Amino acid sequence: MKSIFTLTTLLLTTASALPFSVSPSHRGPRALATRSNCTAHAVSADAEPDTGGAGLNITNADNQTRSYFVYENGCDTVPAKYLSVDAGATKFLPLPAGFQGRVVRGTTDVNLDGSAHTLGTWVEIGLDASGTGWADVSLIRGMDGAVTIASADGSGAKTGFSENSVLDDATESILEAKPSGAMAIKATEDWQAALLSNVVSYLAGKLGYAVAYIDDYHGNPVISSSNSRFAVTFYEGRP
């Protein structure tokens, strides 16, 4: 997979190499070494305080309360934690040292049912041993709405996109139903199917390759934060 996490040689050439290994059981982009024991039960993070450590300030820029789910790589059936954020509000989501995984939109009815649900926009986060955090937006597993990520270390680094038209303008031929019934843009992970359905060309035409991973073969839209803290904004989407 083409990314900072799966192409170690690319990182070495940019002096930003991370000592992560690719898991053969998880084909998602930025796949890191998986945990041997996944979380048995998802934990609500609604009341977790910000103690100054690693984590995400998640802003819900949608027009109603939304829930967001944290998955560690290799643990697709049970999220590690989740939280709900009112429309227009921001909540802090602490992350443990060495976290490697994603944050996605969802609903408690679907994401807590014990099954894997991967279709949608992924906010991918990796924390290394030096205290540096790495982040990107990936559409390789689908797209259910816009997301932006900004480093909270004062560097000004940011990535992602806020254009709702990317999803709203998509034709039926490149859409797929999520378990909730909401329609999302199809995954591009299967590149042959993606080419046949014009998903990659549609996303590339809308976004280019600089703000999100839209397939495994173009771009490297990754940012870092020296304090492992990021500001994440989820725009109107389809959980």
For the chain, domain boundaries: 8-34+44-237
Could you give the angle at the alpha carbon of 185 between the alpha carbons of 142 and 166, nearest 5°? Answer: 110
What is the structure's pLDDT at 225? 98
Instruction: Give the pLDDT confidence of 76-116 residue by residue, as tens digits.
Output: 999 999 999 999 999 999 999 999 999 999 999 999 999 99
Q: Which CATH number fits domain 8-34+44-237: 2.120.10.90, 3.90.1010.10, 2.60.110.10, 3.30.420.40?
A: 2.60.110.10
Taking the alpha carbons at both ends of the chain, their separation in whole angstroms is 26
pTM of structure: 0.85
What is the structure's pLDDT at 38? 86
Low-confidence ranges of the chain (pLDDT < 70): 1-37, 194, 196
Name the average pLDDT for the chain.
Answer: 86
Instruction: Give the pLDDT confidence of 139-150 residue by residue, as tens digits.
Output: 999 999 999 999
What is the structure's pLDDT at 216? 86
Range 159-164, long-range pairs (CB < 8 A, 24+ positions): 159/135, 159/211, 159/212, 159/221, 159/222, 159/223, 160/123, 160/211, 160/212, 160/233, 161/137, 161/207, 161/211, 161/212, 162/61, 162/233, 162/235, 163/206, 163/207, 164/235, 164/236
